[in-house]
Amino acid sequence: MSVLNLVLVGGGHSHLFVLEAFAARPDPGVRLTLVSPSPLTTYSGMLPGVIGGQYQMRQAQIDVARLAARAGAAFVMAAVAGIDTAARALALAGGGSLVYDLVSFDIGAPPAPLPDVDAAAPLVALKPFTTATAAIDAALAAARPCRAVIVGGGAAGAELAWALAARLRRRAGSTLTVCDRTAEPLAGRAPATRRRVLRAFAAAAIAWRGGVEVAAIAADAVRLRGGDALPAELIINASGATGPALFASTTLPLDRRGFLRVGDDLRCGVCPELFASGDCAVPVSHPQLPRAGVYAVRQGPLLAHNLRAALRDAPLRPFRPRQRVLALLNTADARAILSYGPLAWHGRAAWWAKDAIDRRFVARFDR
């Protein structure tokens, strides 16, 4: 029996489930390989807690190299620099290549670029997570007091703001502002959630500037269209995601933001040897699906099934996202905001639930 090469690119949430599935049920007809630039992957749900001092970084990380070994997979520590779909080969950064019969991408998505960025600007992008946390720590150590501005009022920007507020609370003269073009934070959530977020911002002395557009990132400020400026020694880009550069250099089908278009089965229609999940992909039936880790987690078991099925030419299953998903937002004060559909609540029980869910998720894969 011939052996088929299945290559997983990236240690994202969905691929954790694929590796777990192969660890539970190995397939002698499949040669499995995981390619990732780091042996550790950071669980995004716990990153604000790391920045706010609630967790150590290692508590929020999963050893994907060890998980790959449990699954009988080879681990290649590298970034993929190119995709040759005709030859079914991946070019690795630094040299070398990997051939595949089937390849799956779960590589996340970088922050959308901000306009007119000065080379001397104290700008930090949220990804890669380990680089971002180190840069934030360095900026906070260098500037006392520190004026910080977060560009982006989504869930990531809000949780990051509360985490930074906890760090800046005892620094006289420090300020923290969150700005976004939307009038209110978490624009995709119900009014009750937005109200809770604004109240939690006010309680943490976080200024909200909604309905504004960034014109430039200067060396000492975020400049807004209309002439206003937000002085800053630390600027963090949490403004949303854009498609990975890896896909931009290919002829693969991308949406207008650069995300890989896949079917409901997570398979690329024009290149059936290729699958993608998580933030780097967009199902064609759900083009407005938010970039949220909960969807990557829910795609994981389906991806594991569909990859095995594709290797055997068996039927694939569709991904059907739920219309409502639970969100638990860490407000860095031993509380969290629970958001579900039209409902919202802020309290300690929500934090206990979030902490338990996050710790259990990491422990499941980081044994």
Successive 10-residue mean pLDDT values, the chain, 367 residues: 90 96 94 97 94 95 97 96 95 94 95 94 90 92 90 95 93 93 94 97 97 96 94 94 91 92 95 94 82 82 96 92 88 96 96 97 92
Contact 157, 178 (CB under 8 A): yes
pLDDT at 94: 87
pLDDT at 149: 97
Determine the angle formed by the axes of helices 13-24 and 293-311, rounding to 10 degrees. 40
* Omega before 48 within 30 of 0, i.e. cis: no
Amino acid at 282: V
Handedness of CA 61, 364, 68, 99 (dihedral sign): negative
pLDDT at 1: 56
Give the class (CATH, top level) of 4-110+241-311.
Answer: alpha beta
Residue 238's nearest CA partner among 160, 298, 317, 135 is 160
- Among 2.60.120.260, 3.40.50.300, 1.20.1260.10, 3.50.50.60, name the CATH number for the domain at 123-240+325-365: 3.50.50.60
CB atoms within 10 A of CB 112: 17
pLDDT at 188: 86
- In DSSP terms, 223 is beta-bridged to 216, 229
pLDDT at 286: 82
Strands 89-92 and 80-84: antiparallel
pLDDT at 170: 81
Q: Where in the chain is the domain with CATH 3.50.50.60?
A: 4-110+241-311, 123-240+325-365
CB atoms within 10 A of CB 224: 16
* Separation CA 102–CA 139 (nearest Å): 43
Half-sphere exposure of 137 (CA within 13 A, CB side): 12
pLDDT at 227: 87
